[in-house]
Amino acid sequence: MANEVILLDFWPSMFGMRTRIALREKGVDFEYREENLRDKSPLLLQMNPVHKKIPVLIHNGKPVCESSIQVQYIDESWSHKNPILPSDPYQRAQARFWVDFIDKKMYEAQRKVWASKGEEQETGKKEFIELLKILESELGDKPYFGGDDFGYVDIGLIGFYTWFPGYEKYGNFSIEAECPKLIAWAKRCMQRESVAKSLPDSEKVTQFIADLRKAFGVE
Amino acid sequence: MASEQVKVIGAWASPFVMRPRVALNLKSIPYEFLEETFGSKSELLLKSNPVQKKIPVLLHGDKPVCESSIIVEYIDETWSTSGPSLLPSTPYDRAIARFWASYLDEKWFRSLRSILKAEGEEEKKAAIAQVEEENSFIEKAFIDCSKGKAFFNGEHIGYLDIAFGSFLGWLRATELLSGHKLVDEAKTPSLSKWAEQFCNDPAVKPVMPDTAKLAEFAKKIFAKPPA
């Protein structure tokens, strides 16, 4: 049976990036379709009626929603190469815990860094840096979050890296100064073809943030 | 490894804590339940879950596993030969189960609590309408997932049954306090039947909190301070 894989996505989405990376890790051919979030396609609304959000992975006509769920689905459906989750149940539980942590905490925290000003921004910055430090501590001296091999948590976090220069610009701080090991880890991930191909230029993302700030009247 | 001692750190009223307990019961794994005192966190909890500082925590030997749905998957994978699988067998069905479990935690339970937190009739009505709309999605999901069988997971209780079933105590307590039925034969016929079967299961009965007791507890924690 032919594998038809479509990804409904939005280029700066750090969540969409996860699914792109996972598909490329597995060598899966897919059709990337850019969504205009202010004018969502009928297909998007049909395939994700509950949340109406990207990314949506459509595999042979059947939708899978939520990026962390998509990455697990991809790992299970194309299990022949580049395992994404570890095989040991305890390691798997740890990996899931950290992606869940990123899902629950990172988005809101990073948003405050560029979408607010004054005291709200300062609080947001502190929170965000604290989260990064927790993650950096979890990474420790390992090359990747799971150890020697690139995997689920790395995929879960790396998309945010393209937004870092934007956070630094609008938050007026240096992430490398705060979390040097995390930056080293990010650069290591960027050397991987699946990651390099799936992430947009940081400059483009920073410009996108500038446009959002104008649109929200933050400037 | 599978034979090491199992403990669950939790509290009787928490729906999230119920999940690993049901899963362990389904797998016939004995465990020690360490009840936290409401309002304070034990040293063991803080040591075992330093990042989130939340219950439930499963301790397998000395290894902690955190986050209720993640714990359920861990239980299923670790004791895979004990009892039926808690997760569906195909990647797609697993993705669907995980999707709905996530929806319940992120949207549905928050909507349910909004009924209890509502100030005034208008707010309460709106909160009830929101939950009823979400219940209609879940009713449809049940029909799709169960494929004519008794549970979301088919013939046996599984991951999504546990995810939603663990909220039934709070659902019933909310119905009691608000005077409004949310899941019943008229509105959600499939879920109504499923709820009864879930609650009657021997793995569930011992850990399902009493509705009246939960309602009292809910009144206490959602009590509005005097003006």
Q: Which residues in chain B touch residue A100, judged by CB atoms under 8 angstroms apart?
A: 67, 70
With CB atoms and an 8 Å threshold, state whether B92 touches A73: yes
Spatial contact of A199 and A190, defined as CB atoms under 8 Å apart: yes
Mean pLDDT of A48-70: 98
Mean pLDDT of A46-66: 97
With CB atoms and an 8 Å threshold, state whether B51 touches A134: yes
pLDDT band at A219 (very low <50, low <70, confident <90, very high): confident
Per-residue pLDDT at B3: 72
With CB atoms and an 8 Å threshold, state whether B74 touches A65: no
Compute how many other C-beta atoms are within 10 angstroms of the C-beta atom of residue B40. 7
pLDDT in tens, B142-162: 999 999 999 999 999 999 999
Where do the domains of chain B lie, and which CATH numbers do they carry?
Answer: 6-78 (3.40.30.10), 91-221 (1.20.1050.10)
With CB atoms and an 8 Å threshold, state whether A92 touches B51: no
pLDDT at B1 over 70: no
Of B94, B99, B137, the CB nearest to A76: B94
Of A50, A73, A92, the CB nearest to B95: A73
Which residues contact residue A171 at a Cβ distance below 8 angstroms, ignoring those fewer than 6 apart?
Answer: A113, A114, A121, A124, A125, A128
Predicted-assembly ipTM surpassing the 0.90 threshold: yes
Q: Measure the CA–CA gap between A156 and A96, rounded to whole angstroms.
A: 10
Question: pTM for the full model?
Answer: 0.96
